[in-house]
């Protein structure tokens, strides 16, 4: 906004200087008008860039919200699949073999009654 005001003042001063000065088409007046025009063009491009960035931001925010919702859905699905209460456990009795039994210590334990 400060740039817009500065450009408007520059354009206005250039036009007034051209009409009330000695020469309407002097090189100084033409230079001032050209500088003001370049400044106005730059401000226009910057304004377009800001509008485009705002549109891009909205698109990215919408995509983020969509991904967040998808993530929540996937998390809920995985939690439901891995719920310990929902897992079916089956008991299997395995009888020990003599070769699987190793005695490393023998101890005597008693309890006084």
Angle at which helices 2-20 and 27-81 cross, to 10°: 160
Confidence of residue 64 (pLDDT cuts 50, 70, 90): very high
- Residue 40 CB-density burial (10 A; 0-12 exposed, 13-18 middle, 19+ buried): middle
Q: What is the pTM of this model?
A: 0.38
First to last CA, the chain: 98
pLDDT, position 70:
95
Q: If you search the block for the tokens 């003042």, which residue do you land on?
A: 9
Higher pLDDT residue, 87 or 40?
87
CB neighbours of 25 closer than 8 A, spacing ≥ 6? 18
Q: What would the pLDDT profile of 17-26 be if each residue is shown by its tens digit? A: 656 665 555 5
pLDDT, position 7:
67
């Amino acid at each position: 906004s400060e740039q817009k005001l500065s450009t408007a003042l520059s354009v206005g001063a250039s036009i007034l200087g051209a009409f009330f000065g000695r020469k309407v088409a002097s090189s100084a007046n033409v230079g001032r008008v050209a500088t003001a025009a370049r400044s106005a063009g730059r401000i226009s491009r910057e304004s377009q860039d800001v509008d485009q960035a705002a549109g891009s931001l909205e698109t990215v925010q919408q995509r983020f919200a969509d991904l967040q919702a998808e993530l929540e859905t996937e998390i809920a699905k995985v939690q439901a699949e891995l719920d310990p209460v929902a897992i079916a456990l089956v008991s299997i009795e395995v009888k020990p073999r003599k070769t699987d039994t190793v005695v490393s210590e023998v101890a005597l334990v008693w309890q006084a009654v």
